[in-house]
Amino acid sequence: MVDVSDTAMPSVEGGTVVAALRARFGDAILHHEVQAGDEHVVFILASRNVEILRWLKEDPDHRYDLLQDITGVDYGGGRPIQVVYQLWSITHRRSLRVKAELPLDALEIDSATTIWAAANWLEREAYDMFGVHFVGHPDLRRILMPDNYAEGHPLRKDFPLRGRFSRAEQTRRALDFSLEDFYTPADLELAGLRPHADALNPPAEGKDAGAAAAGDGEAADGAPDGASR
């Protein structure tokens, strides 16, 4: 059970988080704003984001265990792009917004996928829309735009509303797709649109282990049969 006193005064409680962050991380906490009455926004040093976020999740007094969103904000005019982490503590019913600012010429920040699995697709979206590179992300691909999209990152302020290419070129590129741009090889194999890897490369002696590991039924069945005879 949660103590009622924990939830009664969210702004005060949010303030204690900020104080605790300052006490623990010192210079890594750049500044702090309160928006819309009781929404605490903490600006942190981008180079120490994983350390701070992990503490916020794991410290028993705070437990921001739900990552609601990761997004970017581009205010234009050459100002740095902000990476925003919107956190929610299920235990204490509190929210916290953590922001890290990245200069336009160094859009790199460590990935939070090791802390929250939910960060995977959220970081892909931030990468797709803003071009922020999340170092250490297991699969940093575009998620909304097609993989062969070559016009840039659409939510940046310097991105023209109708895109960079002409409409005819956009149409041509959209139709001039290859299935590999949209699906992984495993998906294509499932759909029967690509021959099984074994059919492409007849298994040599050394590849039996690989085929069995890939979960291919025939190869897995064949080996015990041969052994029993």
Partner 1 sequence: MGLEGRGGEAERSGVVPGAPTFLTTRLDYVINWARRSSLWPMPFGTACCAIEMMASAASKYDLARFGMERMSFSPRQADLLICAGRVTYKMAPVLRRIWDQMPQPKWAISMGACASSGGVFDVYSMVQGIDTIIPVDVYVPGCPPRPEGLIYGILMVHEKIKRESITNPELRKKLRFEDESIVARPNKPADVIEEIAQPFGNSTKQNRVSGLVSTRPRSRPADRKP
- Residues in contact with partner 1 by CB under 8 A are 144-146, 151, 154, 159-163, 166-175, 177, 182
Q: Which is nearer to partner 1, 12 or 174 (CB)?
A: 174
| Nearest approach, Cβ of residue 150 and partner 1 (Å) | 12
Beta carbons of 109 and 132 less than 8 angstroms apart: yes
Q: Which is nearer to partner 1, 146 or 185 (CB)?
A: 146
Q: Which is nearer to partner 1, 167 or 229 (CB)?
A: 167
| Nearest approach, Cβ of residue 177 and partner 1 (Å) | 5
Q: Which is nearer to partner 1, 160 or 195 (CB)?
A: 160
What's the angle, vertex CA 52, arms to CA 9 and CA 44, rounded to 5?
A: 85
The single-letter DSSP state of residue 26 is G
The Cβ-side half-sphere exposure at 126, using a 13 Å CA radius, reads 29
Task: State the first-to-last Cα distance of the chain, in angstroms, to the nearest integer.
Answer: 63
Whole-angstrom distance, CA of residue 173 vs CA of residue 151 = 11
| Nearest approach, Cβ of residue 172 and partner 1 (Å) | 6
| Nearest approach, Cβ of residue 173 and partner 1 (Å) | 8
- φ/ψ of 15, rounded to 5, equals -65, -35
Q: Which is nearer to partner 1, 162 or 229 (CB)?
A: 162
| Nearest approach, Cβ of residue 144 and partner 1 (Å) | 8
Range list of H helices, the chain? 4-8, 10-25, 49-58, 119-130, 167-175, 179-182, 185-190, 197-200, 208-213, 217-228
